[in-house]
Chain A
């Protein structure tokens, strides 16, 4: 009897918790209608891990299997985003469009398409470049301008 009394509020709490959640399958998520960007600007995004050409043996076998043959996860592609949106927004919309999985936590990119930080040595992870320069800002703090060329590159040497 005591057990039942304890279970009921728990169940109720769980129902409340999950009623605010939106569950979508991968296709639904990918095809979901997005609001058209305000003041659209065109930027390009490239995601690559060329540095692994020399450092492939640093990682575990399971991670080595998922590295693409040409070390390019996303070729240079044009995206239309609204003016002043951050690099994280760009990465999110690119991931949604191209079906990439991005593992992030509050303004920090942990991994892209299964290639995570610390996978190739303790000082490996993702960097981003805008017009071949490393901005001193987090991905969600940098706002994009027209014609920016964003490149995410994997590194094995944090400097």
Chain B
């Protein structure tokens, strides 16, 4: 994980862009299932533990998407059966499955990205567009986790202070405390930024993320695998006739390799660690 974190933010961003782009581009459930499995695997490896609750939620989301699409879209030619006179088609099942897999795996990939990129790195990534835009992005990405953390802190405190309070009432109280606290913190942040000269013109920034050899190699591999996938992975259709589960072997293989790359980094690090431990 440390090795992954030490990579240049551009490389990391490139990788996640490639992966999410592939997830959106390859419209065959095989590719999407591979993407989903590896996104779950990767986030498990990153967090060092398997979290069951988000996984169950993801699976339920996929099932929900499939069912809703089946009931509301009667497009497609391969009729499985008729439900109250409405055709239920294989194509609508596949399309719903695709949608569910796409959304859940994208969410998983982005959560991993959030884990790897610090807010400093995000700022340095988007600085070339506009510094205020970069700041905005990094603050938005940080906002919700921060709110949750604060809310947990408040509720711990409130539980200890007033254990006999009614549930709903205490919930409202916590929310109002949270909002007050966040506003206060916001004002403080603005003041602090002002004091440090954030809004001065001609302000330059220092970002120190060295571009090493391994970054170049990683980017080259990612781009090569991405282009392989894009060249060989096209031409699948869902509507009007589903083109079948057979997929191009080269595209599938390069997709799997691409998604294995970060896991390979992590495993290599763990193995090295074990080796050094056993030597000393």
Contacts and interface: CB of A to CB of B under 8 A. Distances in A.
Interface of A: 21-26, 28-29, 60-63, 65-66, 101, 103-104, 110-111, 113-116, 119
Contact of A113 (B77, B82, B84): B77
Contacts of B74: 101, 103-104
A114 B77 contact: yes
A62 B240 contact: yes
B76 interface: yes
Given A101-B89, A103-B74, A114-B76, A25 B241 contact: no
B75 A22 contact: no
A116 B235 contact: no
A116 B240 contact: yes
13 contacts: A21-B84, A24-B82, A25-B82, A61-B235, A62-B239, A62-B240, A62-B243, A66-B77, A103-B74, A103-B75, A103-B76, A114-B77, A114-B241
Interface string B80-93: 01111101010000
B3 to A, nearest CB: 39
A26 to B, nearest CB: 5
Nearest to A18: B83
Given A101-B76, A101-B87, A63 B240 contact: yes
Contacts of A21: 83-84
Contact of A23 (B76, B77, B79, B82): B82
A82 to B, nearest CB: 18
Closest 4 CB pairs of A and B: A114-B240, A62-B237, A29-B82, A114-B77
Contacts of A24: 81-82
Contact of B81 (A23, A66, A115): A23
B240 A26 contact: no
A151 B199 CA distance: 68
Contacts of B77: 66, 101, 113-114
A110 B74 CA distance: 10
Given A110-B75, A111-B75, A114-B76, A25 B81 contact: yes
Interface in B155-210: none
B28 to A, nearest CB: 12
